[in-house]
Structures are given as C-alpha cells and as structure tokens.
Amino acid sequence: EVQLQESGPGLVKPSQSLSLTCSVTGYSITSNYWGWIRKFPGNKMEWMGYISYSGSTSYNPSLKSRISITRDTSKNQFFLQLNSVTTEDTATYYCARWRGIPNYFDYWGQGVMVTVSS
Amino acid sequence: DIQMTQSPPSLSASLGDKVTITCQASQNINKYIAWYQQKPGKAPRLLIRYTSTLESGTPSRFSGSGSGRDYSFSISNVESEDIASYYCLQYVNLWTFGGGTKLELK
C-alpha cells in the first residue's frame, strides 16, 4: 500500500525558510508525480508544486519565486522548501502522489501543520 | 485560472438520509472533477474521479454526476462513518479545489 508521511518543524519564523520532508513507502518516487498541497485556516486548499518521476518540477505560479521541490531517490523521499515565509504561509501541508492523465491526487499524507510566527 | 464554487459549506443530515453537494466551475472542465473525503487529522481520501468513476474501495452509496460546468456528489443512506468534510477538485487545467463541505449529524 502506498503511504506518505510528512515531517518537519511546526513553527517557523517570518522571513525564514520552511522545509518539509515527505517519506514514501510502498511505491517508488521514480514513478508518477509527487508534490505538495496546503490547506489554509478556513479550509482553502492550494496546490504548490510537484516533482516528476524524471526529476523535473512544476510550481504554482503564485509561489514560483519562493518554492523548491527536490528529492532523494535512494531514501524514497522528496522535499519542500518555501523561502521568505510570512504569516500567510501558516497552513497544513500535505504531500501527495499524482496519478492519471490528466493528473489528479490519489494518495495523500496526513499533513503537518506549520505556523509562521515570531 | 479555473475557480470552483462548492456548496453548501455545511450540511446536517440524519442517518439514512441522502445528501448532495454541488461544485460549479468557472468554465467547462470536461468532467475532470474528483471528490475527496477528509476526516479530522487524517489524509484526504480519493472517492471519485472523472465525475462518476468510483475508486476501488469506495462504497456504492457514493455517486457523482455532471458535465460542463456543473457537477454533483451524493451520498445515499448516510452512515455514521460518512461524517467528514468533502472537497471537489478540477484537474483539467492545473488543479483547483472547492471550498469544502462539512457533513454533520442532525
């Protein structure tokens, strides 16, 4: 069974970088697309970006200058870095697998809540 | 960008009721809509893709329909395990979620 688990700090200071890890079991990240989605207080959800089976990336244009998604295939993990965070980046962050053509999200992690506060 | 307007934001139902949630897209999404269930503290679960195709393991009391800009998701015979929030997602052009519907017991 495909399982994803996010990890990382729950509190980040404004202007710093947010870094999260998604650990995947039951499936290789060298297949499919893998990425990040976040849910803000109030329940609005936003896709952030993905990394493909080949390592190429695509990002939400609203985040393009601040976001980076990378991976470590030897550990079957992928990572999110979001720079210059503000309080508006406070959200629950989910990692997910993309599937299908066109792609949709099929497996998700439980999410990690990140608060941006001084 | 495609916007998804989901309604109602909350819904109260008795066990055994049928409930329906709607999502309207800001443009034709050619049936590329998925529906997710989320319980507090849990990962979202994909229930339906491409308007009406049930994922493996999705009970048959869940259904979806629609075309063009207008889509609906229904649960017939609501069970206690269905108490959760539900979200629609368009995936024809990037990805946009609806605002969610919280289903509660009456």
- Which of A60, A102, A105 shows the shortest C-beta gap to B46? A105
- Which of A44, A100, A105 shows the shortest C-beta gap to B99? A44
Q: Residue A32's closest CA among A101, A105, A99?
A: A99
Q: What is the pLDDT of residue A100?
A: 83
Task: Report whether B32 contacts B50 (CB < 8 A).
Answer: yes
List pLDDT tens digits, range A38-88: 999 989 999 999 999 999 999 999 997 899 999 999 999 999 999 999 999
Q: What is the pLDDT of residue A107?
A: 97
For the record, the structure tokens of B4 come out as 């998804």
Mean pLDDT of A29-46: 95
- Residue B10 CA to residue A110 CA, distance in Å, equals 22
| Residue found under tokens 């994909």 | B46
Q: Residue B49's closest CA among B14, B91, B96?
A: B91
| Chain B from 46 to 85: CB within 8 A of any A CB | 46, 49, 55, 85
- Residue B30 CA to residue B32 CA, distance in Å, equals 6
Query: Rounded to a whole number, what is the distance in Å from the CA of A68 to chain B's nearest CA?
Result: 18
Q: Note whether B87 contacts A: Cβ–Cβ < 8 A.
A: yes
Q: Which residues contact A60 (CB under 8 A, 6 or more apart)?
A: A46, A47, A48, A49, A67, B94
Residue B97 CB-half CA count within 13 A: 22
User: Do the chains contact at A44 and B94, CB–CB below 8 Å?
Assistant: no
Q: Note whether B89 contacts A: Cβ–Cβ < 8 A.
A: yes
- Residue B6 CA to residue A70 CA, distance in Å, equals 33
- Residue A103 CA to residue A98 CA, distance in Å, equals 6
List pLDDT tens digits, range B8-25: 999 999 999 999 999 999
List pLDDT tens digits, range B30-88: 999 999 999 999 999 999 999 999 999 999 999 999 999 999 999 999 999 999 999 99
| Residue found under tokens 């990890």 | A7
Q: What is the pLDDT of residue B77?
A: 94
Q: Residue B62's closest CA among B75, B46, B52, B53?
A: B75
User: Do the chains contact at A100 and B92, CB–CB below 8 Å?
Assistant: no
User: Do the chains contact at A106 and B55, CB–CB below 8 Å?
Assistant: yes
| Chain A from 17 to 76: CB within 8 A of any B CB | 43-47, 60
User: Do the chains contact at B34 and A103, CB–CB below 8 Å?
Assistant: no
Query: Rounded to a whole number, what is the distance in Å from the CA of A80 to chain B's nearest CA?
Result: 18
Q: What is the pLDDT of residue B47?
A: 98
Q: Note whether A107 contacts B: Cβ–Cβ < 8 A.
A: yes
Mean pLDDT of chain A: 96
Q: What is the pLDDT of residue A102?
A: 86
Mean pLDDT of A100-115: 94
Task: Report whether B33 contacts B52 (CB < 8 A).
Answer: no
